[in-house]
Amino acid sequence: MKIDTPIKTICKTDYILQIENVNHWKENISRQQEYEQHKYTETIFLRFRKDLNVFLNFTLIDYPLMNAYKEPIKVYLNMLKQFYKIKDYSVIIANLKPNGIIPLHYDYGSYFESSHRIHIPIKTNENVLFNCGNVVSNLKTGFVYEIDNVGSLHGVENKSNEDRYHIIFDIWD
């Protein structure tokens, strides 16, 4: 869904999800293998499309690791309900590896066009730059952001030697 700015700050949050086990990053590597722009990322799938390539008539499923993160996700959903009428959602945790880049791109298809893309940084630093539209920003831990991933070119560069973790929700209202 189109928003009025490429990056919109939704609210503050004091709650920061912790990764339960670093091996969770290795459970499913399909996103990195399927999409060139995600080759420098790792993903913990929680609730997402059953088939990564389907952007029309998609089916959302809970992945096995959803059980490990169910309570923290409930905390975030309750917070997001203050700003969105949530009919359904997907959620992943994404890591942009040190010195990694996600090149500028648009997301397309009804999956993206009908949802709100929410980023919640849970581990980052000042050398991670998020480019969306003509806005370059350092998305800070402790804040919740909506990005225009459909109408704006967007990408990220991690110019540090540290991992960058974001929870990413797609919300349908």
Cβ-contact 105, 156 below 8 angstroms:
no
Domain boundaries, the chain: 7-172
SS3 of residue 101 by DSSP: strand
Q: What is the DSSP string of 31-91?
A: HHHH-GGGTTEEEEEEEEESSTT--SS--EEE-TTHHHHHHHHHHHHHHHTTT---SEEEE
pLDDT tens by residue, 117-161: 999 999 999 999 999 998 999 999 999 999 999 999 999 999 999
- For residue 100 the two structure tokens come to 């990694």
Residue the block writes with tokens 């990056």? 7
Query: What per-residue confidence (pLDDT) applies to 47?
Result: 97
Report CA-CA distances (Å) from 47 to 52, 58, 118, 163, 164. 12, 12, 14, 22, 20
Q: What is the pTM (predicted TM-score) of this model?
A: 0.94
Ramachandran angles phi, psi of 24, nearest 5°: -60, -25
Instruction: Check if CATH label 2.60.120.10 holds for domain 7-172.
Output: yes
Tokens of 124: 């980052």
> Cβ neighbours of residue 172 under 8 Å, at least 6 residues apart?
86, 87, 88, 89, 114, 115, 116
Instruction: Give 7: exposed, middle or buried? Use CB within 10 Å, 0-12, 13-18, 19+.
Output: buried
pLDDT tens readout for residues 102-127 = 999 999 888 999 999 999 999 999 99
